Chain A
Amino acid sequence: QVQLVESGGGLVKPGGSLRLSCAASGFTFSDFYMGWIRQAPGKGLEYISYISGSGDTRYHAHSLKGRFTISRDNAKNSLYLQMNSLRVDDTAVYYCAREWDYCSGISCSSLDFWGQGALVTVSS
């Protein structure tokens, strides 16, 4: 069965760095785009980054202003999010999710499996 398990969350001071990991199992990891979605306390979902199966294609939300970097290690079935220059408004639960291409088209994607989330708190 598909499983996604995030780790690496915690409390960090403003300006600090953190790296989130997402361990995947139960599917051929390299065949799928993967994404990071965050949710600030009491707020909605924000899709912040995705990466192709090979790692060649990446997207980062403009709101991140180049502070976050997504990467993956297909040999380890792992997805990462390096977060630098963290700000108080980066406080959120960060979810990793699998992008499922349901009709073999560039727009035919949905997030069919999600991890349980990792809480990142940025506070002095």
Chain B
Amino acid sequence: DIQMTQSPSSLSVSVGDRVTITCRASQSISSYVNWYQQRPGKAPKLLIYGASSLQSGVPSRFSGSGSGTDFTLTISSLQPEDCATYYCQQSYSTPPGFGQGTKVEI
């Protein structure tokens, strides 16, 4: 199975900060990574698919990059509503596993 390792596991930031979350795959997965946001008590929401494509309706301050084994989710200017846990997920092979999550707090 492909393991997805996110870092950091949590971070404390301020409104307006640039935030970077990384995800490393245990083997090359091309660009088959998705990113999700989960606010407390809510279902996850798709932010980025295919490593860098922004899902419809998602603010442009979110962006994704990377290929192979190393991937990044960036929030260019953090807003209060971005306080959430973020998960990467690989779709390259079954099982389609998630990273352990990164909690972003203000």
* Chain A interface residues (CB < 8 Å from chain B): 37, 44-47, 50, 59, 61-62, 95, 100, 102-103, 107-112, 114-117
Contact = CB atoms under 8 A, between A and B. Distances in A.
Interface SS, B side: loop
Interface residues of B, number: 26
B49 interface: yes
Interface SS, A side: strand
A110 to B, nearest CB: 4
A102 B43 contact: no
Nearest to B29: A107
B95 A59 contact: yes
B43 A44 contact: no
B91 A107 contact: yes
Given A59-B94, A95-B43, A116-B43, A107 B30 contact: yes
Given A108-B32, A112-B55, A47 B96 contact: yes
A107 B32 contact: yes
B62 interface: no
Contact of A44 (B53, B55, B96, B100): B100
Contacts of B93: 107
B98 interface: yes
B32 to A, nearest CB: 5
Nearest 9 pairs between A and B by C-beta? A114-B43, A110-B49, A110-B34, A45-B98, A107-B32, A44-B101, A109-B91, A44-B100, A107-B92
Interface in B42-60: 43-46, 49-50, 53, 55
B87 A110 contact: no
B96 A109 contact: yes
A114 B47 CA distance: 13
30 contacts: A44-B98, A44-B100, A44-B101, A45-B36, A45-B38, A46-B98, A47-B89, A47-B96, A47-B98, A50-B96, A59-B94, A100-B49, A102-B53, A103-B50, A107-B32, A107-B91, A107-B92, A108-B32, A108-B91, A110-B49, A110-B89, A110-B91, A111-B34, A111-B36, A111-B46, A111-B89, A112-B46, A114-B43, A114-B45, A116-B43
